[in-house]
């Protein structure tokens, strides 16, 4: 057997302590880093910046805000102009599999309402997408919409209520109305009178942000 001198033992203990300190420092550093997040935005023309340069849309503006406040987050904008809840439900499984988002902003239903489609079917589709997100371990946020009163008071009221009921049922954060603050102002819309103009895109972002920011902390 080789006898260890006091000097050798001391050197061994010092090296062991340095190694342990290094491992502890690396672990502490890793623990301090925020978990990367990926946000999937599933919407229609309102989120696809229809009629505008993409960088002026509220989703692109959200990316800029995230870069400042939550730089570990990235955004996948899977919004398609004209999309209905049925179309979104069909596309979502592949989107979840491909992007594996940690968060999902669900902004669909406006085209269902404008086309006078079944509210029961819309509700089932939205509910199905929220369930898919939960199973994929993605924190969902539901964005509500309202439609013009010319569709009749009953349909108009039930349309808006559908979103609130679903958010309550699925216990997800909820934006009551994406166009809140300017929906009655004709100057806030493009020439078609339907799609928001560039100057109100920050308002749309703020309407979403106040309910979404908390899910990132």
What number of CA atoms fall less than 13 Å from residue 141's CA on the CB side? 26
**Sign of the alpha-carbon dihedral angle for 131, 170, 179, 76:** negative
- Out of 44, 45, 103, 211, the active site residue is 45
- Is 192 an active-site residue? yes
Active-site annotation holds for 72: no
| Cross-strand partners of 175 | 143
Q: Quick check: is 103 catalytic?
A: no
Q: Which residues are catalytic?
A: 45, 192, 195
């Amino acid at each position: 057997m080789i006898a260890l001198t006091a000097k050798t033992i001391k050197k061994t203990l010092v090296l062991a302590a340095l190694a342990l300190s290094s491992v502890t420092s690396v672990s502490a550093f890793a623990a301090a880093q925020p978990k990367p997040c990926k946000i999937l935005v599933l919407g229609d023309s309102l989120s696809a910046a229809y009629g505008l340069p993409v960088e002026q849309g509220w989703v692109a503006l959200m990316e800029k805000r995230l870069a400042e406040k939550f730089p570990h987050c990235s955004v996948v904008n899977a919004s398609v102009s004209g999309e209905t809840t049925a179309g979104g439900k069909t596309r979502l499984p592949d989107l979840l599999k491909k992007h594996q988002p940690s968060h999902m902003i669900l902004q669909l239903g406006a085209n269902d309402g404008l086309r006078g489609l079944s509210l029961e079917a819309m509700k089932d589709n939205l509910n199905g997408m929220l369930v898919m997100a939960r199973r994929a371990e993605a924190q969902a946020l539901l964005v509500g919409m309202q439609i013009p009163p010319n569709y009749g008071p009953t349909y108009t009221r039930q349309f808006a209520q559908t979103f609130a009921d679903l958010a309550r049922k699925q216990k997800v954060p909820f934006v009551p109305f994406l166009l809140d603050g300017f929906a009655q102002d004709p100057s806030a819309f493009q020439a078609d009178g339907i799609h928001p103009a560039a100057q109100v895109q920050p308002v749309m972002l703020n309407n979403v942000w106040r309910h979404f920011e908390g899910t990132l902390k």
